[in-house]
Structure 1
C-alpha cells in the first residue's frame, strides 16, 4: 500500500506542477495583452492591473457607445435633405442630397423642373453610406422666357422635406 500512496503523491505533484505551468503561461499571455507598469512584481499585481485595465476599457466602450447613439440621434434629427440649385445661364444644375430613408418621388422633381420651364438633359445619382446624391443638369426650354432659380430652389425644398 505504501507504493500506491507514493504514486498518488507523485501524480498529485505532477498535476499541480502542470497546473502551475499552465497558469504561468496564461499570465504571460495576459501580460502581453495589457499595459503593465514596472511596479508589477507578482501575479496578483498583474491580475489587479488586468482587472483595472479591463474595467477601464469597458467604461470607455460604454462611453463611446453612448456618444455614438447620441450622435446618430442628433444626425437623424438635424440632417434634412439638401437642395442646391446653380444657375449656369442658360443651364441649370440641381443637386439633391438626402438620406436613403427619405421618401420622395424622383419623377416629382422632374415635374417641378418641367413646370418651371426647364428641360432635363442629364440626371444621375450615387449612394454613399446612407446618403443619396442626385445631380440633374437642365437647360431652359426657351431662352426668351428665362429661368427663376430661386423659385425652383424653393419648390424643390418644399418637395423633398
Structure 2
C-alpha cells in the first residue's frame, strides 16, 4: 500500500473542519442557554460569550447555594446545629411525644398542645374534643421552633357546656394525649 501525502492532508483537513463545525455547534448551543439582557445587544465575540456563560453559571451556583440554605432554615434542619440538637433532646426530627397543658381562667380555657412536626392529627382531635364538650373556639394559633410545634387554643366554655365542663375537657384532653403516648 502506498501512502499518498495529498490524501492524508485532505483527511486532516476534513477532520479539522468537522471538529470546528462541532465546536461551533457546541458554542451556539451554550450561547442559547444563557439568557440575554435584550435583543438589541450587539453580537458578542466568542471569548465574550464564553465569559458570559461562565459568569452565568457562577451566578446560578450562588443562587442554588443560597436557596439550599434558605430551605434548610425553613425546614428547621440547619446543618450546623442539627447533630447537637438531636443528641441533646434524644428525639428524631418530627417524632416527639405530645404534651398538653390546660389552663382555666373563669369561663375561658387556654389549651397549649406541644407536638412534633407530625402532630396535626393531635391538633385536630383537640379541636374536636373542645367542640364535643360545648366549648367555643375563640382563637387558635401555632408556631414552629425547629422540630417542635406549639399549638395554642383559646376557647370559652359557655352555658351550653355541661356543669364542670372545664374540668371534664381537661380530663378528656389529658387522657387523649396519654393514650396517644402509649402507642
**TM-score bracket for the superposition, by shorter chain length:** 0.5 to 0.7
- After TM superposition, give the deviation of residue 102 of structure 1 in Å: 2.7
C-alpha contact (below 8 Å) 1:30/1:50 kept by paired residues:
yes
Question: How far apart are residue 21 of structure 1 and its match?
Answer: 0.8
- Map residues 17-28 of structure 1 onto 2, 5 A cutoff: 17-28=17-28
In structure 1, C-alpha distance between the alignment counterparts of 2:52 and 2:65, rounded to whole Å: 20
Q: Is the Cα–Cα contact under 8 Å of residues 36 and 49 in structure 1 kept in the other structure? A: no
Contact kept? 1:100, 1:132, Cα under 8 Å: no
Q: Which runs of 5+ in 1 are unaligned?
A: 76-98, 113-128
What TM-score, normalized to structure 2?
0.47
How many pairs are equivalent? 111
- CA gap of 1:12–1:63, structure 2 versus 1, over 3 A, is same
Larger RCO: 1 or 2 (CA < 8 Å, sep 6+): 1
Match of 1:101 among 95, 105, 123: 95
What is the alpha-carbon distance in structure 2 between the residues aligned to residue 2 and residue 48 of structure 1? 47
Distance in 2 (alpha carbons) for counterparts of 1:13 and 1:130: 68
Unpaired runs of 5+ residues, structure 2, are 79-92, 102-116, 135-160, 179-183
Structure 1: how far apart are the matches of 2:7 and 2:118? 70
Tell me the SS of whatever aligns to 1:22.
Answer: helix
SS at match of 2:165: coil
Q: What's the offset of the Cα at 1:67?
A: 1.8
The corresponding residue for 1:67 is: 70
What residue number does 1:54 align with?
A: 57
Shift of residue 152 of structure 1?
2.5
- Superposed CA RMSD: 3.9
Q: Contact 1:31 / 1:46 at 8 angstroms: preserved in 2? A: yes
1:78-109 per-residue CA deviation (whole Å, 9 max, x = no partner) reads: xxxxxxxxxxxxxxxxxxxxx9523349xxx8
CA contact (8 A) 1:36 1:46 kept: no
Alpha carbons 1:100, 1:130 under 8 Å: kept? yes
Partner of 1:17: helix, strand, or coil? Answer: helix
Give 1:33 shift: 0.8
When normalised by structure 1's length, the TM-score is 0.53
